[in-house]
Chain A
Amino acid sequence: MGVGRRQDDSTIRQVIADVLGVESVSMSDNPFDLGLTSIQAIRICARIRHDLSLDPAPECLLGSATVAGFVATVRGRG
């Protein structure tokens, strides 16, 4: 379970990095500082839904101060 979660976390970070066009994303990064727009939030959430069968809301990513906060919310819903 712990290993699966860590893998999920790194998948989420990778999806965010891919969509934002940055090399890597750390848990303490503010998604907005990385250039996140609402359209990118929608794209990120669609990919997480597809890859991990989790169902995050774009509003949740847009409202998160850190990547870690978003990941915690996504896991809470999954």
Chain B
Amino acid sequence: MNGTGTVHGAVARQARLRPQATAVVCGADRVSYAELDRRADAYAAELISSGVRPGGMVPVLLPRSVDLVVALLAVLKCGAAYAVPDLRWPHVRVQDVIDQLDPPLVITRPPMWDPGRVDHIRPAPDDEDAAATVFFTSGTTGRAKGVISPHRATMRLFAQPSVRLPIGRTMPQVAPGCWDAFSLELWGMLATGGTSVIVETDFLLPQHLRALTVDTIFLTSALFEVAVDEDIDCFAGIATVLTGGERMSQDHARRFLRRFPTSTLINCYGPVETCVFVTAHRVRPEDCAAAGGVPVGLPMPHTEVHVLTRTGMAAVGAIGEIGVSGHGLALGYLNAPALTRERFVTVEVDGLPRRVYRTGDLGQVTDQGVLHFRGRLDRQVKIAGHRVEPAELEAVSMSVPGVRTSRVMPVLAEGGGRNGLALYYTADPGAPAPAALRRYLASRLPSYLVPHTVRRIDAFPFSATGKIDTEALLEL
């Protein structure tokens, strides 16, 4: 036991401490902690009688709603883990995710239960090291990649109030359930006695912010920039703005702090494998002009950051691969032991072996221990805030009969912003034309992975070193 407790244990504790406080708001629906916990107990009994057992993984195909929260809590009370496939994904991708989970059942309807069964629930042992959820992200094999995250990874952020992550009492829930930001928004409130305000749209827009009464929000870096540009006053009344996912724009941070000098703006960093955030930094006016950019800051509770070289630890101030250890680490990738061994390694830290996740991100740590993000080691990019592995798109396109080789690159818009993906391919006669290939990809992949440009070429240009010359490709 590490002492963080479980997610459902924390919610049950809040239900005892403040039974009548509002736990979840969704449109006209409003549910108290006592009612939420009671419904989840009842549905957990139903799930147990239907065969859900500790260690199982249960996909929940419900839209964001009070019912979704009840279903997720019930799955956790069974000792099982939930996964929330994105309902906007193509059907085949949802099906593939369900197949990967090999579940005892799939929840597709709002929770219902037999009132006679409620008293018979046998609660699962309170195991914070057990899997709580499976997040999904872009992988390199052509399938969505599952990341199995334990209770302690989520709970380390909320078990004690943290100066690093000053969440308030009300927060909107808008992130898709397969993202780790979902855990921040939902469990960040419900584990601490706050109110989760579920937004039923896909995006948190400035006009939504104006209509909501919340004191804390999380926005991806890209959405933060849009809100500052288009309607900066939408942030009025919000005490804490958390943002992350991409490098913070100093210009947007400066404009925000000038308009709201007493608000707290926090720049966060963390891959999904380390659950929500690894580090955070309260942005100060001087950061907005610093030559090195806005730092991503100091580690979260129960989290350590290491800068790695090929052979060991980098010296203070040197750039290396960011490694992360501590309670936030995922248990591993779903059904991918080799990939898990490659990314979750044992590294000697101060003479003791530690389990470390190799992020593939580059960073450097100042002598004060402050982390700066410095880019990627591999080809992973962010498209509209989504993590994208170009290799996933290449793998799916090369599974099409007749497509020989494909190469995917981010396309840079004027001004340097990233503007989608371009796919180039060589093919045998009779292979699909570019428009047909793109339609096929759109039927298999979420929209952010579908290339904006698809071009068939006779041969790839090669550089002097024998690698595909990507710059020459973009000029074709």
Q: Which residues of A line the B interface, CB within 8 A?
A: 20-21, 32-40, 42-43, 45-47, 49-50, 55, 57-59, 62
Interface size class of B (residues with CB under 8 A): 20 to 34
Q: Is A42 a contact of B452 with CB atoms below 8 Å?
A: no
Determine how close the nearest CB of chain A comes to the CB of B354; give it in whole angstroms.
37
Q: Is B206 a contact of A21 with CB atoms below 8 Å?
A: no
Contact among A32, A59, A62 with B452 in the assembled complex (CB-CB below 8 Å): A32
Q: List 20 A-B contacts (CB under 8 A).
A: A20-B419, A21-B413, A21-B415, A21-B419, A32-B452, A34-B452, A35-B413, A36-B420, A37-B419, A38-B203, A38-B384, A38-B448, A39-B384, A39-B385, A40-B384, A46-B230, A46-B231, A58-B202, A58-B203, A59-B201
Residues of the B chain whose Cβ atoms lie less than 8 Å from the Cβ of A37? 383-384, 419-420, 448
Cα distance, A78 to B214, chains bound together (Å): 28
Residues of the A chain whose Cβ atoms lie less than 8 Å from the Cβ of B315? none
- In this complex, what residue of A is CB-closest to B447? A62
- In this complex, what residue of B is CB-closest to A63? B447
Residues of the B chain whose Cβ atoms lie less than 8 Å from the Cβ of A34? 452
- In this complex, what residue of B is CB-closest to A32? B452
Cβ of B207 under 8 Å from chain A: yes
Cβ of B313 under 8 Å from chain A: no
Cβ of B223 under 8 Å from chain A: yes
Cβ of B96 under 8 Å from chain A: no
Q: Is A43 a contact of B452 with CB atoms below 8 Å?
A: no
Cα distance, A75 to B38, chains bound together (Å): 46
Q: Is B230 a contact of A50 with CB atoms below 8 Å?
A: yes
Q: Is A46 a contact of B205 with CB atoms below 8 Å?
A: yes
Q: Known contacts A45-B205, A46-B205; decide if A39 and B222 are in contact (CB<8 Å).
A: yes
User: What are the 6 closest A-B residue pairs judged by CB atoms, nearest first?
Assistant: A46-B230, A37-B384, A39-B384, A39-B222, A35-B419, A38-B384
Q: Is A58 a contact of B205 with CB atoms below 8 Å?
A: yes
Determine how close the nearest CB of chain A comes to the CB of B453; give it in whole angstroms.
8
Q: Which residues of B line the A interface, CB within 8 A?
A: 201-203, 205-207, 222-223, 226, 229-231, 383-385, 411, 413-415, 419-420, 447-448, 450, 452-453
Determine how close the nearest CB of chain B comes to the CB of A55; give it in whole angstroms.
8
Determine how close the nearest CB of chain B comes to the CB of A12; give it in whole angstroms.
15
Cα distance, A43 to B205, chains bound together (Å): 9
Contact among A39, A43, A49 with B207 in the assembled complex (CB-CB below 8 Å): A49
Q: Is A38 a contact of B226 with CB atoms below 8 Å?
A: no
Residues of the A chain whose Cβ atoms lie less than 8 Å from the Cβ of B222? 39
Q: Is A50 a contact of B226 with CB atoms below 8 Å?
A: no
Determine how close the nearest CB of chain B comes to the CB of A32; give it in whole angstroms.
6
Cα distance, A35 to B54, chains bound together (Å): 45
- In this complex, what residue of A is CB-closest to B411? A35
Determine how close the nearest CB of chain B comes to the CB of A73; give it in whole angstroms.
16
Q: Is B231 a contact of A50 with CB atoms below 8 Å?
A: yes
Determine how close the nearest CB of chain A comes to the CB of B410; give it in whole angstroms.
11
Q: Is A38 a contact of B452 with CB atoms below 8 Å?
A: no
Q: Is B452 a contact of A33 with CB atoms below 8 Å?
A: yes
Seed contacts A35-B420, A45-B205, A46-B226; 15 additional CB < 8 Å A-B pairs: A20-B413, A21-B414, A21-B415, A21-B419, A35-B419, A38-B384, A39-B385, A42-B203, A47-B230, A49-B207, A50-B230, A50-B231, A58-B203, A58-B205, A59-B203
Cα distance, A15 to B205, chains bound together (Å): 18
Q: Is A42 a contact of B419 with CB atoms below 8 Å?
A: no
Q: From A37, A38, A46, A62, name the one whose CB has the most chain B CB atoms within 10 angstroms.
A: A37
Determine how close the nearest CB of chain A comes to the CB of B200; give it in whole angstroms.
12
Cα distance, A50 to B385, chains bound together (Å): 24
Q: Known contacts A38-B384, A58-B205; decide if A43 and B413 are in contact (CB<8 Å).
A: no
- In this complex, what residue of B is CB-closest to A43? B226
Determine how close the nearest CB of chain A comes to the CB of B386; give it in whole angstroms.
8
Q: Is B205 a contact of A35 with CB atoms below 8 Å?
A: no
Q: Is A39 a contact of B205 with CB atoms below 8 Å?
A: no
Q: From A33, A39, A42, A57, name the one whose CB has the most chain B CB atoms within 10 angstroms.
A: A39
Q: Is A46 a contact of B206 with CB atoms below 8 Å?
A: yes
Q: Is A39 a contact of B226 with CB atoms below 8 Å?
A: yes
Determine how close the nearest CB of chain B comes to the CB of A70; give it in whole angstroms.
16
Residues of the A chain whose Cβ atoms lie less than 8 Å from the Cβ of B419? 20-21, 35, 37
Cα distance, A36 to B418, chains bound together (Å): 11
Cα distance, A50 to B226, chains bound together (Å): 13
Cα distance, A55 to B384, chains bound together (Å): 22
Q: Is B415 a contact of A39 with CB atoms below 8 Å?
A: no
Q: Is A42 a contact of B226 with CB atoms below 8 Å?
A: yes
Determine how close the nearest CB of chain B comes to the CB of A49; give it in whole angstroms.
7
Determine how close the nearest CB of chain A comes to the CB of B13; give it in whole angstroms.
37
Residues of the B chain whose Cβ atoms lie less than 8 Å from the Cβ of A20? 413, 419
Determine how close the nearest CB of chain B comes to the CB of A42; give it in whole angstroms.
5
Cα distance, A43 to B453, chains bound together (Å): 21
Cα distance, A47 to B453, chains bound together (Å): 26
Q: From B203, B447, B450, name the one whose CB has the most chain A CB atoms within 10 angstroms.
A: B203
Q: Is B413 a contact of A39 with CB atoms below 8 Å?
A: no
Cα distance, A57 to B208, chains bound together (Å): 12
Q: Known contacts A21-B414, A39-B385; decide if A59 and B202 are in contact (CB<8 Å).
A: yes
- In this complex, what residue of B is CB-closest to A49? B207
